[in-house]
Amino acid sequence: TIRSIHAREILDSRGNPTVEAEVTLACGAMGRAASPSGASTGVHEALELRDGVIGRYNGKGVQRPVSLINGEIRDALTGLDAGGQQAVDEALIRLDGTANKENLGANSTLAVSMAVARAAAAAAGRRLWEYLGDPTEPLLPVPAMNILNGGVHANWQGPDFQEYMIAPYGAPTFAEALRWGAEIYHALKTLLKEKGYSTGVGDEGGFAPAVSSNTEPLDLIVAAIERAGYRPGQEIGIALDPASSSFYTDGAYELRTEGLTLDAAGMVDRYRELADTYPIVSIEDGLAEDDWDGWKLLNDAIGDRVELVGDDLFVTNVNRIERGIREGTANAVLIKPNQIGTVTETIAAVRLAHKNSWGAMVSHRSGETVDTFIADFTVAMRTGHLKAGAPARGERVEKYNQLLRIEEEAGNAARYAGRKGFIR
Ligand code: PGA
Ligand code: ZN
């Protein structure tokens, strides 16, 4: 039974405030969790509640959501059984009373929801990944490591595309995949230095060189993979997140780096070419968040060989995912718990995707804390892949380190997803 709930304002990896919640049960077990925060947020995401008080953290304070947790949320949840995650989350949803968590904010509901799961797992004497899933079948994900950052995650002259990720699916274990990824990351650093590029990093730990096109990073990454001694396409795939909503206005995709403006059909041609030329296993948000027709074009063109992941398009929302499934808009969903605001609704989004043979890729946000909930969640839900940034910056690395611990804890039961982690 939930005895008390307490929240506080802490900082995220960008130096902005975020919400941390602690849930204590009558038996003494405690769970703590913190909400992350995006920069290229989708317009259809659940609301992130901020104070808007100018002169305090540039309006980004979270004293209001913290006081909601320490007041009405605590009052509503005290006495509930923490082991009944769904009932607890339904109580949060009812208390909020809106479709988009506009009253409580998804940053307050998610922190509490995750902390409840942690407390319940502790009370049951189980690890979080065991508690959330079937402990006999832990599936370790292929890590999609974002080693080159652009777009709004690198606010200087980088590529228009936001994320260039490597996916070491050919490794035998998660631990080896992580090693391969880290070695490629360092090979890329050496290569960038040789070419006279900056090796400063962006929000997710990837390098942010001032390249002159959106394809140059792909050439650099292929070279880095080879230099580290691995085979592009056989052992290592490339995943892209152009986050195209951030360079889209009124039907036009503006590739500033290349001085080019394309319509949806032009973007689809571009992606087809990229998929023909590079070992691309996945493209996320290739088209903008409301460009359903453009998405359909892309899915018809390359959906049979590339995983096409909707992030801003679906925002972890079952209603939008259902539309995508009905219309054949994509073949995978990005899963960000704070886009929807509770653990139960996040699980529902994964299940809906899986039931329809779609991929579900679990994701961090560009503003993170050291909270590792998504690592355990990915293993428990058997999603086969997750993205948590570069193998650098503490808040990114901590997710990968947690997966190392889980692989060790799971022992002989552990399986590494490998190439099948990407649905196509
Ligand atoms: P965000 O970016 O966390 O800044 O929204 C991540 C993504 O677009 O996948
Ligand atoms: Zn994205």
Mean pLDDT throughout 88-98? 98
Per-residue model confidence as pLDDT tens digits over 179-202: 999 999 999 999 999 999 999 999
pLDDT > 90: what percent of the chain? 97
The pLDDT of residue 154: 83
> Best of 45, 145, 160, 162 to mutate for ligand 1, by most ligand atoms within 8 A of CB?
162
ipTM summary value: 0.99
39 CA: nearest ligand 1 atom: 4
Interstrand relation of 30-34 and 17-25 (parallel, antiparallel or unpaired): antiparallel
334 CA: nearest ligand 1 atom: 9
Q: How confident is the model at residue 157 (pLDDT cuts 50, 70, 90)?
A: confident
| pLDDT above 90: residue 85 | yes
Q: Is the CB of 45 under 6 A from ligand 1?
A: no
The pLDDT of residue 146: 98
The pLDDT of residue 156: 67
Q: Is the CB of 363 under 6 A from ligand 1?
A: yes
Indicate which ligand has the atom closest to the C-alpha of 366.
Answer: 1
Mean pLDDT throughout 164-182? 98
Q: Is the CB of 366 under 6 A from ligand 1?
A: yes
The pLDDT of residue 54: 93
Mean pLDDT throughout 93-113? 98
Q: Confirm if 165 and 147 have CB atoms less than 8 A apart.
A: yes
Per-residue model confidence as pLDDT tens digits over 349-373: 999 999 999 999 999 999 999 999 9
The pTM of the whole model exceeds 0.90: yes
The Cα–Cα gap between 400 and 125 comes to 23
Q: Is the CB of 20 under 6 A from ligand 1?
A: no
* Residue 48 is labelled as binding a ligand: no
Ion ligand 2, residue ranges at CB < 5 A: 241, 243, 284-285, 311
Q: Which residues of 199-221 are buried (b: 16+ CB within 10 A; e: fewer)?
A: eebbbbbbbbbebebbbbbbebb
| pLDDT above 90: residue 153 | no
Q: Is the CB of 149 under 6 A from ligand 1?
A: no
Q: Confirm if 417 and 174 have CB atoms less than 8 A apart.
A: no
pLDDT > 70: what percent of the chain? 100
More confident residue, 424 or 147: 147
Indicate which ligand has the atom closest to the C-alpha of 35.
Answer: 1
* Residue 387 is labelled as binding a ligand: yes
Q: Is the CB of 35 under 6 A from ligand 1?
A: no
> Best of 16, 37, 40 to mutate for ligand 1, by most ligand atoms within 8 A of CB?
40
The Cα–Cα gap between 315 and 333 comes to 8
Mean pLDDT throughout 204-216? 96
Look over the chain and give the mean of its residue pLDDT values, rounded to a whole number: 97
| pLDDT above 90: residue 155 | no
Q: How confident is the model at residue 424 (pLDDT cuts 50, 70, 90)?
A: low
Tell me the catalytic residues.
204, 336
Indicate which ligand has the atom closest to the C-alpha of 40.
Answer: 1
The pLDDT of residue 152: 86
